[in-house]
Structure 1
């Protein structure tokens, strides 16, 4: 369907404008149409820590595209949706081209569904890996590691957590980490006053999401996840992990089965971790 045909089908004015809080109800309706579990609170949080575009038709939201700024060199993109009645009419390209212009030439990360791959490849994105979505009701009582080096974070830990996150992800996300810590429960690995990993559990979608999870080894990442899961028995839990680390079966053994997968893509240069710190689980597939 051409853009011209779509405009004839959806008659009336179209407006591509800045995403604002007043657009949340329309955006929520779009994500529900896609079967995504976002709540109004999840859209409000995403808008508060990021920015984006919304496509309006006759005062209704028919498309969204969001991005999050991580310094002068990097950004991530996501929550790119076009209503079913407008798909195939060029609206997705229009939204995404507007987002690319807004990011100012930054290296841009996103996690793509199969449906979005063609558009992103045409815009210069290259695949570099995969993200596995694990989720399910936590029906088992999880016993945390009793080594004694994992504890709840204090406000005074925030700067060290932000620094660890930057080493793990390879880009500065201080504002994002602070916002996530403000709405979630944070556990840290404390090696004699040195933060050696952290994990955040917060309300999201159908229940809780655990992420980001950053640590210096797969084992430490798993220990942090166990510490967070130990307080979530009976809750619905989601964790999105980088496939390259190869520990999805471990999550499955806890009842958190893999239910989906996305292609990790980058336009430009992928950020590089520093030292042993690595990012093992995402805040969500849009934020990274």
Structure 2
């Protein structure tokens, strides 16, 4: 690239527009540049269940930002990327400010890398916790430790699963849960006809991701995770957990090493869980 060509490229007009299916190849290239393991299918799924913005220059995607609205009060944000050659030029701020407009004044959750903290803090986000990323090839067969109360979900369980998720997350995420259940395998804890927890395993990135995992205790969360892992021997598995629940050492003992962490942040009020139900593992760090 000549110096003159570079100058023309960097000075070309920018276009901030709605994320559409035609932008997936450019978005995939950005995530690969960042070393993120998204596939085209992962971008397509995220766009189908949410909405987003792309920053274009010379017909190419140089930035992305996406959000997922949960009812009228909450949203999560993620997949916020600016190509390396354009970083430091205020493009990330422009993208993110546009995305906040898309959330319509909702309370917004996100999980930030170290590099993004300054931008988000300037926009009024505060840290409230930590998310640990665990992953690795599952080299051994794991036996589920259930008491006969864990089973695969059926279509008729969806409403109960959605209701449990709302109690656990404090947010009405019915559409997201239905979409995840549609593409994944769902295990539930069935206590005499009452859904008392669920876990979804689906194809994602380098292999499979287990999440969300929602349960009424750490022990039940472990049992649900084991139930899903029992069918994934030889596969690459990822689980993103809230550090506050203390599942990290246990996942390490299963061979799923901690390879990264993110800062959980909120702009506005945090959602509040109802009763003992909690979210122990995330669908991914963007969806929340």
TM-score range, shorter chain: over 0.9
Do residues 122 (structure 1) and 130 (structure 2) align? no
1:160-175 correspondence to structure 2 within 5 Å? 160-175=160-175
1:93 partnered with 2:86 = no
Q: Deviations over 1:184-219 (max 9, x none)?
A: 000000000000000000000000000000000000
Q: CA deviation at 1:247?
A: 1.6
CA–CA separation in structure 2 for the residues paired with 1:213 and 1:247: 12
Contact 2:146–2:223 (CA under 8 A) maintained in structure 1: no
Q: How does 1:25-36 map to 2 (within 5 A)?
A: 25-36=25-36
Could you report, residue by residue, the CA deviation over 1:138-172 in whole angstroms, capped at 9, with x for unpaired residues? 00110012410000001000000000000000000
In the superposition, relative to structure 1, how do residues 92 and 283 fare at CA in structure 2: closer, same or farther (>3 Å)?
same
Deviations 1:111-150 (A, max 9, x none): 0000000000000000000000000000011001241000
> Which residue of 1 is the match for residue 46 of structure 2?
46
In structure 1, stretches of 5+ residues that fail to align are 1-5
Q: Give the stretch that moved more between structures: 62-71 or 9-18.
A: 9-18
Residue in 1 that maps onto 2:16 = 16
Distance in 2 between residues matched to 1:20 and 1:146, nearest whole Å: 43
Alignment check: 8 A CA contact 2:199 2:211 kept: yes
**Cα distance in 2, alignment partners of residues 9 and 88 from structure 1:** 16
Per the alignment, residue 221 of structure 1 pairs with 221
**Taking structure 1 as the reference length, what is the TM-score of the superposition?**
0.97
* Alpha-carbon distance, 1:234 to partner: 0.1
Structure 1 counterpart SS, 2:262? strand
The aligned counterpart of 1:137 is 137
Q: Is the 8 A contact 2:9 2:58 kept in 1?
A: no
How far 1:7 sits from its partner (Å)?
8.1
Q: Which residue of 2 aligns with 1:242?
A: 242
**Residue number in structure 2 paired with 1:106:** 106
Mapped to 2, the partners of 1:252 and 1:151 lie a distance apart of 25
Partner of 1:205: 205
Secondary structure of the residue aligned to 2:151 is strand
Please say which of residues 72-81 and 7-16 is displaced more in the overlay: 7-16
**What's the Cα RMSD here?**
1.0
Question: Which runs of 5 or more structure 2 residues have no equivalent in the other structure?
Answer: 1-5
TM-superposition CA deviations, 1:47-94 (whole Å, max 9, x none): 000000000000000000000010000000000000000000000000
CA drift at 1:12: 1.9
Segments of 4+ moved more than 6 angstroms: none
Question: Distance between the aligned counterparts of 1:146 and 1:17, measured in 2?
Answer: 49
Q: How many Å apart are 1:13 and its aligned residue?
A: 2.2
Secondary structure in structure 1 of the residue aligned to 2:75: strand
Instruction: Supply the distance in 1 between the matched residues of 2:112 and 2:12 (Cα, whole angstroms).
Output: 31
CA distance in 2, matches of 1:93, 1:266: 17
C-alpha change, 1:152 and 1:193, in structure 2 (3 Å) is same
CA offsets per residue over residues 205-246 of structure 1, 9 Å max, x none?
000000000000000000000000000000000000000001
Q: How far does residue 102 in structure 1 lie from its aligned partner after superposition?
A: 1.2
Deviation at 1:33, TM superposition (A): 0.1
Alignment partners' CA distance in 2, 1:208 and 1:148:
25
Q: Measure how far apart 1:11 and its partner are.
A: 2.7
**SS of corresponding position for 2:189:** strand
C-alpha distance in 2 between matches for 1:162 and 1:217: 18
